[in-house]
Chain A
């Protein structure tokens, strides 16, 4: 799904005063692209994701999905195709079994029971929780990493074309991280547009084509990674670091613009 934002400004009201969370944010994301949303804590990443899903009303500015804005017919249907997974899976798991929990979203979309069942099985399979083994497990009896993937399945079952993930890698052990990264790569292969809010620049570098950098509610960088062209500085200035492989390439005296995305690619280049 094609996504664009124009002049998006969101404020929280606290004790009668409006506190800006996002100020004049504008960017475009082409369909099928994966974008890393980077920025220090409190930069407004979660706010931006929730505003894109329509959970927060912007003061000013517009969000366009496939070129349609709130005033257009068909916008509501597009917004239902935006999936948002919150940072803490325990905040959305509530049903007595993994299967039931995943079925919540599709049922809310009003799909027939057969379609719901198919979507649930497919989503569980996709996130690496095979329904035969995990379908009847109680969500709260799962490990942290499994809960994270179950929460993701609950959103994937609604077949989003634009997927927004809020810090999906936080507090996952290495095996769970690998599993989640594999799921995301599979989704990207299937044409899903992805916005990934994260502190983890290494994961972002490996998975994403573009990046958006937010700091104090303002967008300070957008578009493709620009390492070797000032991109490192823009990250360091805003409390982040360049990815490990980019830094390695720079220290090796090689062009940061040509830094590899994966360990395997780095090994290949260095051999």
Chain B
């Protein structure tokens, strides 16, 4: 069994091969612009960009749907709140609830905006391996090192955490089965009973994790890892012409959206 947390979908699309730094900057710019501009035309531009990106990425749409599903309640909530508290003339009233055309319009606009935002962000995480993401973040936050923020170390911590989350989930699964073999029951009883049933699972999980962390630290030291030193990389990030082209394209789109 393999558990995945970050949802990178391997592929060879132009978006997959794009420099991760460029992708982060582009997606950030698009996200900010999406919220700065308050026009239907701009929203249409951003929605079009998101659709094109999804198609170019070659990632099956169900992956985007999977990322969107947990956020649907937020979209729903936004919709309801907008409808209930929007100004304007009511065309339908029931007690304290007044439905207005402006409200429905506003709710639709904000919901679509949220969906576009999530899909745009998903393009980044679905086409970029987690390690490339953290590498790019480490590079982009380099100026903070002048302020003595240990950006390299933070990036390494994130990378290690991402690397071990699936391992921990698998271990959790095995531990639960081992305790079920001894009669543990995680599915029945009230909240306190169930919480107590987790003790025999969490203790071994912590012990195993700490032991592994110790081993990993020793192994890293044995391979000459020293915190505070700047590491060189096996695959240095190098932006090529097509990366700059992509960034220029995004800049044009953002500029366009600002005008329309």
Contact = CB atoms under 8 A, between A and B. Distances in A.
Interface of A: 12, 14-15, 50, 53, 55, 80, 83-86, 88, 90-95, 104-105, 108-109, 140, 154-155, 158
B183 A50 contact: no
Given A93-B204, A94-B204, A86 B1 contact: no
15 contacts: A12-B1, A14-B1, A53-B181, A90-B207, A90-B208, A91-B175, A91-B208, A92-B175, A92-B178, A92-B179, A94-B201, A104-B182, A154-B182, A155-B181, A158-B183
B199 interface: yes
Contacts of A86: 174, 177-178, 181
Contacts of A93: 204
B178 A94 contact: no
Interface of B: 1-2, 4, 171, 174-175, 177-185, 199-201, 203-204, 207-208, 211
Nearest to A155: B182
Binding site of A, secondary structure by majority: helix, strand, loop or mixed?
mixed
Contact of B177 (A50, A104, A158): A50
Contacts of A83: 181
Contact of B180 (A14, A15, A55, A95): A55
A104 B178 contact: no
Given A55-B177, A92-B182, A94-B199, 13 more contacts: A12-B1, A55-B181, A88-B174, A90-B204, A91-B175, A92-B178, A92-B179, A94-B203, A104-B182, A104-B183, A108-B184, A108-B185, A155-B181
Binding site of B, secondary structure by majority: helix, strand, loop or mixed?
helix
Contacts of B207: 90, 140
Contacts of B181: 50, 53, 55, 83-86, 155
A94 B200 contact: yes
Given A86-B174, A91-B171, A80 B183 contact: yes
Contacts of A15: 2, 4
Contacts of A91: 171, 174-175, 178, 204, 208
Given A14-B1, A91-B208, A93-B204, A105 B177 contact: no
Nearest to A84: B181
B208 A108 contact: no
Nearest to B200: A94
B177 to A, nearest CB: 5
A55 B1 CA distance: 15
Contacts of B199: 94
Most-contacted residue by chain A among B174, B177, B178 (CB, 10 A): B178
Nearest to B181: A84
A108 B183 contact: yes
Most-contacted residue by chain A among B2, B182, B184, B208 (CB, 10 A): B182
B69 to A, nearest CB: 15
